[in-house]
Structures are given as C-alpha cells and as structure tokens.
Amino acid sequence: MDLKKLEVWFVTGSQHLYGEETLKQVAEHSQTIAKALNEAKQIPVTVVFKPTVKSSEEIYQTCQEANTKPNCIGIIAWMHTFSPAKMWIGGLRILQKPLLHLHTQFNRDIPWSSIDMDFMNLNQSAHGDREFGFMVSRMRLNRKVVTGHWQDPNVLERINAWTRAAAGWHDWQGAKFARFGDNMRYVAVTEGDKVEAELKFGYSVNTYGIGDLVDVVKSVSDAEVDTLVKEYGEKYNLAENLKKGSAQHNSLRDAARIELGLRHFLEAGSFKGFTDTFEDLHGMVQLPGIAAQRLMGSGYGFAGEGDWKTSALVRAMKVMGSGLPGGNSFMEDYTYHFEPNNNLVLGSHMLEICESIADGTANCEIHPLGIGGKADPVRLVFNSAAGPAINASIVDMGNRFRMLVNEVVAVKPKESLPKLPVARVLWKPYPDMATGCSAWIYAGGAHHTGYSQNLTSEHMRDFADMAGIEFALIGKNTDIHQFRNELRWNEAYYQLNK
Ligand code: MN
C-alpha cells in the first residue's frame, strides 16, 4: 500500500483583521511548513497546503471539501495568528475526517535583539491555538494535539503516527470483510454487534457459505496451482515430504488450490479481509493454513473462528504499518512460561500467523491438526524477531467498543522447540507478566489480538480516538490499582456520554 496517494490537508486559520501584508506572510509561512511536512522522511502521506481560512464561510467550505475528497484522510490545523474560534463552529460541526491540531510556531527562537510588536502580531499561535483548542474541546471533538517546533524530529514522529492511524481509519470506511461460516460455537469474545460496528467503524461484515468458497477453490486451474507450488518451493524451506514425487506433495497442491480460491474470492468481492472457522469446512480438504498466512502477508485482514473484529483490526494495522520494517499478524496468547524472573507468553495459533513477522526464511511443513476433522493442513513454521511489539484487541462491551493495547517485548527463544509445528512468538508483557495479564483480563481483552512489530500504542490511541471508542493501555507505567479504577471511571463515562 502506497500511503503517498493519501492526502492530509494543512489548514491555517487566521482572520481579516491583520491586513494584506501580515496575511501574505502567514500564507508564505504555512506553505513552507506544509512543504517541509510533505518532504519529511517520517511522514508517509502527501501533505497538501490549503489557502489560509479567515472566515466562517471559508472554514466551512474547506471542511466540506475535505469530507468529500476521496483521498483526503485528515486535516492538520494550525493558528499562526489568532482565528476567533466561533468562526470554526460550522466547519468543525460537519468535519468527518480526523483532525490534528499542530501547536507550533513558525520561528523556533525568539529574536531577542529585534523582537517588536510586528513579530508578536505575526507569531501568536501560543494564544491563537488556545482559542482554537477551546472550541474543539467545547464541542467535545476528538483530535490529536501535537506541540513543538515543526522541524523538531519528535514533532514529525507524532504527526507520522497520526497520519498512519488516519490511513488505517480511511481504509476501514466502506471496507468489506467476508466470514466463511459463522462463529466458533459458544465462543463469546469473537461475537459482537456488526450493525453497531458498521455505524461506528464504517466497515461491513457479511457471511458467505463455505460451499461458495469451495466452488471457487474447485475452479482453480492446474496451471495456476503449478505456478504457486513452484513459488512455495522457491520462497520457503520445503519439507521433504511435500516435495514433488513425495508422499504428501498432493497436499501441498491442495493447499495452493485453497490459497488461490480464497484469493480469487476476495478479489472478486473487493474484500479487505476474512475469517473462517474449523467447525464449518464442509467440502474443504484442509483448514486454510498457509493460505491465511500468505493472504495476511499480502495485506488482508484475517482472524480464526469467525473473529471479524480482529480480522478488521489486523487489516487496519497492516495499512498503518505500510512501508515500515516489521510486520503485523493475527495472534493468540497460547501458553505461559512461569519460570521465576523470566515469565513469558508463547503466542501462536493453530496455524495462522502472518509470514510478515517471520524471522528469516519460513519452513513449509505439513502436520496433523487435532480438531476440524480434515486432512493435514500445510503451514509455514517460523520464529519471530525479538524487539518491542504490541498486542491490540477490540472487544464489544455491550454499550461500547473497547480497544485494549498491551506493550510487550518479544524475545528470542532460548530453545529450538523442534516439535512445535506452528509459527510462534515469545514475549514479555509490560509492565510485568502478573500486572500485564491481570490488567488484560480485568479489561475483558480477547484471547485473539493484532500483534505488531512496527506500530506503537500511540498509533492505536490515535486510531481509537478517530473511531471514538474507549482506549485502555497496559504499558510500562501501568499500576493495577489505577488501571482498575480507570476501567470503572470509563464505565461511568460511557454511560453518561451517550
Ligand atoms: Mn483462536
């Protein structure tokens, strides 16, 4: 995904009071900043300069244009001078795109020896931005406030995170997700209100009978299968028993056929992700393993057992992380290691971990699967790189959606795990195992997550604000007492804020 195709508009607020000369300087400075942001390596989207807005009408018109411009994903607003904020009511009331308030100043330093009232008149964002901030807060609108000089790398990083969140949010609008079969029977957290999700998140989720997919899988040509099997052989360390002429080579061909069928189905319906469930595979030869892993690798959202919320989240995370080193995957907290002073979580799934988080070349293997009653599925087996990561989950609390994020640090496995036939990650949750896992459970976080090597809690916080949903963070500074109180306070807040 090329994020440069997406636009963020740089909008400077002012008023007519200052006269032509000052407004000319305001426009020049704004252009300089917009150009610098556009050219900054840290900012992945196109930043477009917009003419200074000086009246209610101009503000309204700019917001209206931003709403209807398909590739405009958000607005960065800055008040170089003073822009009386009642002028912003009309525009902000209709603005449907994410908002970042850049609280900056054109001059980095005060020109001590030459500063006069002309300089003060021009460089008054210190109070002009406060007037704007009041109105956004008065209107109870979510936005991100970034403070600092516009050339400061830290400021650029904060803007970077927001633009990535906005790209993920933009991608969700009108997105379609396919469920093959329904939910894993009796499972709670993967359920949820799909109508409310479409209202809140902008994406739709619909179910397709597994038979419809089976028909597409059957229609895949042998020539296509030949080509994909060749690609498997070139890209992965293929197990001996899967190679041509070996006993289970036909299973590899079946797996390739499933991948191609899924790909055709998703392309034909313009889907951005999917779910399946091992309890609804009638007519399928194998549970999709390598297919799900590679489709995630191509940017599709995925989650198992009908978990559409996690599938959509994985997709959004892939868009947000576009172009960054590291990957994003569907994940499940699987097994614990409770060694004193070295507590670890082993994350995995029964098959479907995205190849984008593989450390080195993956092995392509085939092993039996204890559940589902189908033929042995082919899968990619690999370790994942060490380093900082996050786990993110969206749950339906009945009266609202909650996004929960746990900052973790992945570690290299000390042992080789030779008998584990699935891709895996080992991590330590912050602030520590006991607090991190207890907090996750108090918050009702799912066992399924989106696992990311290249996003931080900042991206997810910005994203949750754009969606207008609750955000709960378990990080380095989480105190379990405070966290439990925060959940209680949020409970009251979301009852009152209806
Ligand atoms: Mn699962």
Q: Cite the beta strand spans of 412-455 per DSSP E.
A: 424-429, 448-452
Instruction: Compute, in angstroms, the gap from residue 296 CA to the centroid of ligand 1.
Output: 16
Angle ∠(167,465,397) on CA atoms, nearest 5: 115
Residues 6+ apart with CB under 8 A from 41: none
How far apart are the C-alpha atoms of 397 and 201, rounded to whole Å?
Answer: 15
Helix (H, G, I), strand (E, B) or coil at 457: helix
Going by C-alpha positions, the residue among 179, 140, 166 that lies closest to residue 459 is 166
Task: Give residue-wise pLDDT tens across range 156-170.
Answer: 999 999 999 999 999
User: Low-confidence residues of the chain, pLDDT below 70?
Assistant: none
Instruction: Compute, in angstroms, the gap from residue 351 CA to the centroid of ligand 1.
Output: 10
Instruction: Compute, in angstroms, the gap from residue 334 CA to the centroid of ligand 1.
Output: 9
Task: Give residue-wise pLDDT tens across range 425-448.
Answer: 999 999 999 999 999 999 999 999
Position 414 scores a pLDDT of 85
**Cis peptide before 431, with omega less than 30 degrees from 0?**
yes
Instruction: Compute, in angstroms, the gap from residue 47 CA to the centroid of ligand 1.
Output: 40
Position 209 scores a pLDDT of 96
Answer positive or negative: Cα dihedral of 61, 64, 68, 71. positive
Task: Give residue-wise pLDDT tens across range 70-101.
Answer: 999 999 999 999 999 999 999 999 999 999 99
Instruction: Compute, in angstroms, the gap from residue 376 CA to the centroid of ligand 1.
Output: 18
Position 1 scores a pLDDT of 87
Q: Are 390 and 457 in contact (CB under 8 A)?
A: yes
Position 227 scores a pLDDT of 98
In the structure, ligand 1 is a single-atom ion and the residues with CB under 5 Å from it are 304-305, 332
What one-letter code names the amino acid at 84? Answer: P
Instruction: Compute, in angstroms, the gap from residue 258 CA to the centroid of ligand 1.
Output: 20
Q: Are 302 and 296 in contact (CB under 8 A)?
A: yes
Position 90 scores a pLDDT of 98
Q: Are 80 and 128 in contact (CB under 8 A)?
A: yes
How far apart are the C-alpha atoms of 437 and 404, rounded to whole Å?
Answer: 12
- The predicted model scores a pTM of 0.97
Instruction: Compute, in angstroms, the gap from residue 202 CA to the centroid of ligand 1.
Output: 25
Position 248 scores a pLDDT of 96
Position 497 scores a pLDDT of 84
Instruction: Compute, in angstroms, the gap from residue 88 CA to the centroid of ligand 1.
Output: 47
Position 498 scores a pLDDT of 75
Going by C-alpha positions, the residue among 61, 44, 40 that lies closest to residue 6 is 44
Q: Are 302 and 314 in contact (CB under 8 A)?
A: yes
Position 211 scores a pLDDT of 97
